[in-house]
């Protein structure tokens, strides 16, 4: 579905008023590791960061994050750093769109997205791997130009072109998408079956669902 059409549906659904949702994250049996969220770009300033959820340039049509920072649990952040170094040898860097996401934002997404589009957002009743600080949304940028590369779809596409095995696009676009996937897989990340840009770190089960506001994490290393 085109972004403008989806935004219009989201706006209409939000104005109509979502059904009452649970008040807090789901309770899960532990034990879990203590959260250790770190800012990824603080580990290496060569990462590019473009958090569209801190702007109006997203499917909700307004900012839903107070800061444009990307945080991950430390093991996931260090694995991403290794992937960044491997890609540098191929002439690419990583452009980060999102990492840790407070559970309350996941609930907001579920409330405002029309039911027919909910395959692309997480159910707050079970939480998201973003909520655990073990999922990252990202793409490649070209080191020589500094520009984001073209992939078979744009980031946050709500249609079949978002799938990591989508056969459309150009051979060059698919090759870059597959390079991203292979490089992250070598560092313990698996791609989401519906979104080529979404990767989950293998340790995601070790961390609880969190609802820590992003602004409270600024300055962590």
187 has catalytic annotation: no
Catalytic residue of the set 39, 172, 195, 215:
195
Alpha-carbon gap, residue 88 to 78, rounded angstroms:
15
Burial of 144 (0-12, 13-18, 19+ CB in 10 A): exposed
Q: For tokens 């949304």, what's the residue?
A: 137
> What does R_g of the chain's alpha carbons equal in angstroms?
17
CB 46 within 8 A of CB 87: no
Q: For tokens 């597959």, what's the residue?
A: 178
Exposure string of 22-55, with b = 16+ CB inside 10 Å and e = fewer, is: eeebeeeeeeeeebebbbbbebeeebbbbbbbbe
CB 156 within 8 A of CB 59: yes
Token pair listed for 181: 């996937």
Q: Catalytic residue positions?
A: 195
């Amino acid at each position: 579905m085109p972004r403008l059409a989806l935004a219009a549906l989201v706006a209409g659904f939000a104005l109509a008023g979502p059904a009452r949702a649970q008040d807090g994250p789901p309770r899960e049996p532990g034990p879990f590791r203590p959260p250790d969220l770190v800012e990824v770009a603080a580990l290496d300033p060569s990462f590019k960061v473009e958090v569209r959820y801190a702007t109006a340039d997203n499917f909700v049509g307004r900012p839903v994050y107070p800061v444009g920072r990307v945080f991950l649990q430390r093991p996931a952040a260090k694995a991403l750093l290794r992937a960044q170094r491997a890609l540098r040898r191929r002439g690419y860097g990583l452009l980060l769109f999102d990492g840790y996401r407070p559970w309350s934002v996941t609930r907001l997404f579920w409330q405002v997205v029309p039911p027919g589009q909910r395959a692309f957002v997480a159910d707050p009743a079970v939480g998201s791997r973003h909520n655990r600080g073990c999922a990252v949304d990202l793409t490649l940028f070209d080191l020589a130009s500094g520009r984001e590369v073209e992939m078979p779809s744009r980031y946050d596409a709500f249609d079949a072109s978002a799938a990591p095995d989508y056969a459309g696009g150009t051979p060059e676009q698919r090759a870059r998408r597959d390079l991203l996937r292979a490089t992250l897989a070598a560092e313990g990340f698996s791609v989401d079956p519906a979104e080529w840009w979404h990767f989950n770190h293998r340790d995601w089960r070790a961390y609880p669902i969190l609802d820590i506001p992003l602004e409270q994490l600024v300055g962590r290393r």
